[in-house]
Amino acid sequence: MAAVSVDSLLERDGPACAWCGRAPWRRDLTLEHLVPRARGGHLVAENVVLACRGCNRRRGARPVDAYVRELLRDGVAVDVDGLRTALRRLLASDRRVHRDAGRRLLERLASVDAPVRP
């Protein structure tokens, strides 16, 4: 398996924060665990996306759907479809904790309807 790095995620996902959509300077992008380490997540490609430092810090270990709902309440245009794509990658993970979390989070995110980012 290839190492997970900001550069590899830039190539896979592009330069935008998975949460707020901003494209900060490269040094301000971090690896964001979809299933946080505090909840059993691991540093593997299917469990990480890029996030700006601010969003990574604000989210903490909250579930994806909880943070998305908070951002939407605050008027942030979240790329919910992009997050669903990222969560679907978890369904193919070798790790059961990732597969189970991916399934659960996709179900909870199904009811979230977000405006499309400009």
Global pTM reads 0.87
Nearest to 54 by CA among 78, 8, 83, 22: 22
CATH class for the region spanning 6-109 = mainly alpha
- DSSP secondary structure letter of residue 33: E
Q: Which residues contact 65 (CB under 8 A, 6 or more apart)?
A: 105, 108, 109, 112
What's the confidence (pLDDT) of residue 112? 81
Residue 114 tokens read as 């977000």
Domain ranges of the chain: 6-109
Q: Are strands 48-52 and 29-33 parallel, antiparallel or unpaired?
A: antiparallel
* pLDDT tens-digit series, residues 32-54: 999 999 999 999 999 999 999 99
* pLDDT tens-digit series, residues 64-98: 999 999 999 999 888 899 999 999 999 999 999 99
